[in-house]
């Protein structure tokens, strides 16, 4: 009979470094098991709640919808506005990352080059905010991005993103956003409506979706224009195979 040997719990005869290493090893194994298990679970069941929702001082309103009940114009709009290479990259857009690094070197206002996959990983498993924890979060975000790219696939990533992304004050997901702003389901969003939601995604608490002005209006119009190209060039094909 085969027997599997597991390392015994460190005792007082072991050195401090050994005991610390033993506990760190156990924590790493536990994290790997939990993170992979959650990722597998969320491949099949809706994400019930996120840290961002729980910590939102405005509360949260959400209404999970399968991607089959979200208008394709919304998918095209977020690809056009957030991540034009969504279907061609494996979770990370190296060109966008390099441009963000160069831009941030010239400005004190930091801007990221995150893909939809990275944003989904952060929104589902991690937390928001700046400070020193941002660097820890970025490392964990990379790990979860690799997991969801390999376990979920593009269609599921898009489906989850469209259900957990913040679309307004205390509003999460495009269904809740569509009901709030346009009084109808996300299943029948027009190209302009979808583009306006997409234009607000980077700053949903401050950008107006209904009757937007200035930059938000111009950005929404640009997204609406690019959305047609996304469909025509089959840049959303990975979601609808």
Residue 10, in any domain of the structure: no
Are the beta carbons of 141 and 112 closer than 8 angstroms? no
**pLDDT, mean of residues 209-231:** 94
What is the per-residue pLDDT across 116-153, written as a single tens digit (0 to 9) for each?
999 999 999 999 987 888 889 999 999 999 999 999 99
Residue 200, in any domain of the structure: yes
160's CB contacts (< 8 A; 6+ apart) are 42, 47, 120, 124, 148, 152
224's CB contacts (< 8 A; 6+ apart) are 77, 191, 192, 194, 195
Confidence check: pLDDT of 108 > 60: no
What pLDDT shows up at residue 12?
62
Residue 186, in any domain of the structure: yes
pTM of the model: 0.89
Is residue 54 domain-shared with residue 152, that is, in the same domain? yes
* CATH classification at residue 214: 1.10.3810.10
Number of domains within the chain: 2
Is residue 209 domain-shared with residue 112, that is, in the same domain? yes
**Range from 35-44, 107-116, 138-147, 168-177 carrying the lowest mean pLDDT:** 107-116
What is the per-residue pLDDT across 66-97, written as a single tens digit (0 to 9) for each?
999 999 999 999 999 999 999 999 999 988 77
What is the per-residue pLDDT across 162-172, written as a single tens digit (0 to 9) for each?
999 999 999 99
Residue 157, classified by CB atoms within 10 Å of its CB into exposed (0-12), middle (13-18) or buried (19+), is buried
Residue 91, in any domain of the structure: yes
Is residue 132 domain-shared with residue 190, that is, in the same domain? yes
Give the residue numbers spanning the domain of 38.
15-45
- Residue of 139, 111, 106 lying closest to 125 (CA atoms): 139
Sheet containing 61-62: give its strands across.
Answer: 61-62, 171-172, 166-168
Provide the CA 15 distance to its chain's centre, in angstroms.
Answer: 43
What pLDDT shows up at residue 102?
72
Two tokens at 167?
């679309």
Give the span between the Cα atoms of 21 and 98, in whole angstroms.
36
- E strand segments, the chain: 61-62, 166-168, 171-172
Q: Within 13 Å of residue 191, how many CA atoms lie on the same side as its CB?
A: 13
What is the gyration radius of the CA atoms in the chain, in angstroms? 21
Is residue 182 domain-shared with residue 136, that is, in the same domain? yes
Of the pLDDT bands very low, low, confident and very high (cuts 50, 70, 90), residue 98 is confident
Is residue 128 domain-shared with residue 37, that is, in the same domain? no
Residue 60, in any domain of the structure: yes
Average pLDDT of the chain, as a whole number: 91
Share of the chain above pLDDT 70, in %: 90
Give the span between the Cα atoms of 128 and 101, in whole angstroms.
20
Is residue 147 domain-shared with residue 83, that is, in the same domain? yes
Two tokens at 74?
């919304």
């Amino acid at each position: 009979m085969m027997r599997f040997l597991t390392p015994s719990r460190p005792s007082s005869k072991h050195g401090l470094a050994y005991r610390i290493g033993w506990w760190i090893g156990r924590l790493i194994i536990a994290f790997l098991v939990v993170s992979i298990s959650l990722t597998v679970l969320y491949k099949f069941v809706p994400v019930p709640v996120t840290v961002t929702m729980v910590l939102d001082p405005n509360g949260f309103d959400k209404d999970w919808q399968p991607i089959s009940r979200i208008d394709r114009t919304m998918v095209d709009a977020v690809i056009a506005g957030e991540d034009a290479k969504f279907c061609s990259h494996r979770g990370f857009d190296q060109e966008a990352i390099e441009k963000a690094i160069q831009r941030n070197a010239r400005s004190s206002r930091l801007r990221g080059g995150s893909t939809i996959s990275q944003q989904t990983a952060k929104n589902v498993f991690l937390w928001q905010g700046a400070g020193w924890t941002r660097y820890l979060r970025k490392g964990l975000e990379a790990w979860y991005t690799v997991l969801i790219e390999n376990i979920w696939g593009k269609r599921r990533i898009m489906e989850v993103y469209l259900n957990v992304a913040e679309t307004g004050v205390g509003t999460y997901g495009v269904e809740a956003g569509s009901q709030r702003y346009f009084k109808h389901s996300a299943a029948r969003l027009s190209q302009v409506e979808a583009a306006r939601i997409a234009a607000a995604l980077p700053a949903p608490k401050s950008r107006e979706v209904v009757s937007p002005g200035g930059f938000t209006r111009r950005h929404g119009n640009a997204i609406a224009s690019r959305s047609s190209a996304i469909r025509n060039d089959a840049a959303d094909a990975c979601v609808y195979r």
